[in-house]
Amino acid sequence: MIRSDIDLQPFNTMTIAARADYFAEATSLEELRVALDFAREKQLPILPLGGGSNIVLTGDFPGLALHVALKGLKLEDLGNQTQITAAAGENWHQLVMHTVAEGLGGLENLALIPGNIGASPIQNIGAYGVELKDSFHSLTAMEIESGALVEFSAEECRFGYRDSIFKQDARDRYLICEVRLRLPHQWAPQVSYPALQQYFAANSVAEDTLKPQDVAAAVIAIRNSKLPNPVQIPNAGSFFKNPVVDDAQYTQLRQQHPQLVAFAAGEGWKLAAGWLIDQAGWRGFEREGVGVHSQQALVLINPGHCCGSKVVALAMEIAADVKAKFGVDLEPEPRFYPGV
């Protein structure tokens, strides 16, 4: 089951060619344990892999790339809500489409996010004002060190904006095996984002007639119209998180740049990182096979299937330029392996 010296290009949507010393695909808990035993014995670091849509391979991985391919999906009616139990290797978008086809609301704004269920809690995936945490109930993970199964409640996951305990204190300590979501039968559409408002206005759809399936269809149409499909143009989605700045910095920036795109976020302000990069002049930029998408400057693209170091070099150049022009730090959203 464990293979050596494997090319990871088919396993990341940036299509970066990099090799892993070892690779395994686990379709059961038992196979996961066997793979972990192997890595422990050889003292190898582990790279858990789902759909590979939120990673950047900066070089060869000197350890075990472990494709978590557990399958299984169950829907249970709990009276006023439906519980969904999904194994880590199930595809996220297919799950969303399955729920909306069943008439269940709650996940429709998260349609067309690439990747698998297992990664969805890692950064608390979100889009169009909805996050995984809004429907999340609990998950089961395997501790990498011991192979023991551990339960995490929503509170224990410490979800934040594109963040969770799995990016912080519990980083590199668990393999997520199963996620449980709960969708209340009482549903109201979340369509506050301008893009959704404009879509429904343009298609003469009244908000009070909306069904989850209609919102999913709108999200899919909008995303298809402006975001690059990784199958055609390699990318890892938003390359940077939207930075959150304090009131003083926001006020100063707003004075200098009246068109600044920003939204109140807790006690601070969330700035649209895509707008900053666009204003800095990077949208549509391309150099030696790597570049910035022409319709969404937050997405770095890799049409030349270049190595990770080229992608990271461009990202660092952009971040430094944004810092020089706006005084704002940009933090990458995807995880870099083996690191920079």
How many helices (DSSP H) and strands (DSSP E) are in the chain?
A: 8, 20
- Which residue's CB is nearer to ligand FAD, number 81 or number 109? 109
Task: Please tell me whether residue 105 binds ligand NAP under the rule CB under 6 A.
Answer: no
Chain centroid offset of residue 283 CA: 21
Q: How far apart are CA 314 and CA 39, in angstroms?
A: 33
Distance, in Å, from the CA atom of 11 to the CA atom of 128, rounded to the nearest integer, reads 27
Residue 145 catalytic?
no
Judged by beta carbon, residue 278 or residue 321, the one nearer ligand FAD is: 278
CB 60 within 8 A of CB 77: no
For ligand NAP, the closer of residues 82 and 164 by Cβ is 164
Asked if 268 and 245 touch (Cβ cutoff 8 Å), the reply is: yes
Query: Shortest distance, CB of residue 278 to ligand NAP, whole angstroms?
Result: 10
Burial class (CB in 10 A: 0-12, 13-18, 19+), 208: exposed
Reference 135, options 213, 75, 195; nearest CA is 75
> Which residues, in sequence order, are bridge partners of residue 82?
77, 183
Q: Which does 175 bind (CB under 5 to 8 A by kind): ligand NAP, ligand FAD, none?
A: ligand FAD
The DSSP letter of residue 141 is: E
Q: Could you tell me the two tokens for 107?
A: 């996940």
Catalytic residue among 135, 238, 283, 335: 238
Is 143 one of the catalytic residues?
A: no
- Out of ligand NAP, ligand FAD, none, which partner does residue 179 contact, by CB within 5 to 8 A per kind? none
Q: Confirm if 25 and 67 have CB atoms less than 8 A apart.
A: yes
- Smallest gap from Cβ 335 to ligand FAD, in A, equals 4
Applying CB under 6 A, the span of 43-51, 55-63, 99-107, 125-133 interacting with ligand NAP comes to 125-133
| AA letter at 85 | T
Catalytic residue among 138, 162, 180, 335: 162
Rounded to 5 degrees, φ, ψ at 177 are -110, -35
Question: Two tokens at 292?
Answer: 């910035």
272 contributes a contact to ligand NAP by CB under 6 A: yes
Minimum gap (Å) between residue 129 Cβ and ligand NAP: 6
| From candidates 15, 82, 138, 238, binder to ligand NAP by CB under 6 A | 238
25 neighbors 208 (Cβ within 8 angstroms) = no
Compute the least distance from the CB of residue 92 to ligand FAD, in Å: 6
Which residues face 244 on adjacent strands? 270
Q: Is 151 a catalytic residue?
A: no
Catalytic pick among 120, 164, 333, 335? 333
Residue 217 or 272 having the CB closest to ligand NAP: 272
Distance CA(43)–CA(136), nearest Å, equals 34
Q: Pick one of ligand NAP, ligand FAD, none as the site partner of residue 128 (Cβ within 5 to 8 A by kind).
A: ligand NAP
Q: Is 10 exposed, middle or buried (0-12, 13-18, 19+ CB in 10 A)?
A: exposed
Compute the least distance from the CB of residue 198 to ligand FAD, in Å. 18
Candidate residues 43, 80, 186, 192; the one interacting with ligand NAP per rule CB under 6 A: 192
- Here the tokens at position 148 are 């023991």
Q: Which residues bind ligand FAD (CB under 6 A)?
A: 13, 47-55, 68, 88, 113-116, 118-120, 122-123, 125-127, 175-176, 227, 230, 235-237, 335
Rule CB under 6 A: is residue 237 a binding residue for ligand NAP? yes
Question: In the complex, what is the shortest distance from the CB of residue 134 to ligand NAP, in angstroms, rounded to a whole number?
Answer: 13
What residues make contact with ligand NAP under the rule CB under 6 A? 126-129, 192-195, 226-227, 237-238, 242, 261, 263, 272, 274, 296, 298, 333
Residues with catalytic roles: 162, 238, 333
